[in-house]
Structure 1
Amino acid sequence: MQNQRNRIAELILKREEWFDEDLWETFTYDFEKFNLENWKMAEKRILQSLRKTLRSASVNVKKDEAVV
């Protein structure tokens, strides 16, 4: 479980400098096999960082916490 959390955090941090379509395309590729159970394993602060990163890069992300 910790390895999964570390992988999520690593992938998110690598994307913080990307924008728009490039960020979204890479995000969907990196996380295409993730399901709700995978996202539930991530720490809340990591998911918040992911949402913030996506929003700041002009990616439309819902505010619903059940969905990234």
Structure 2
Amino acid sequence: MAERKAFPLRIDPALWAAVERCATANLRSANAEIECLLREALKARGVKLAPPQPVKRGRPPKETDDG
């Protein structure tokens, strides 16, 4: 999986509250909502991006001892 970049963001409290409301409505975290909004904005400007890599969920496969 590709490593994600951490970035501190200074944002107006009213804007942050709106992002959190949207995130809640879309069943996302605020971080995931910001990523989605940024992708939509870039797409609207004609910037092409590769689709995001899905996060692997669940338990890792069991290791077997064949020895």
For Structure 1 versus Structure 2, the TM-score category normalised by the shorter chain is 0.3 to 0.5
Q: What is the TM-score when the length of structure 1 is the normalising length?
A: 0.35
Q: What is the TM-score when the length of structure 2 is the normalising length?
A: 0.35
Instruction: Compare the two structures and name the one with the higher helix fraction.
Output: 1
Highest relative contact order (Cα 8 Å, sep 6+), 1 or 2? Answer: 1
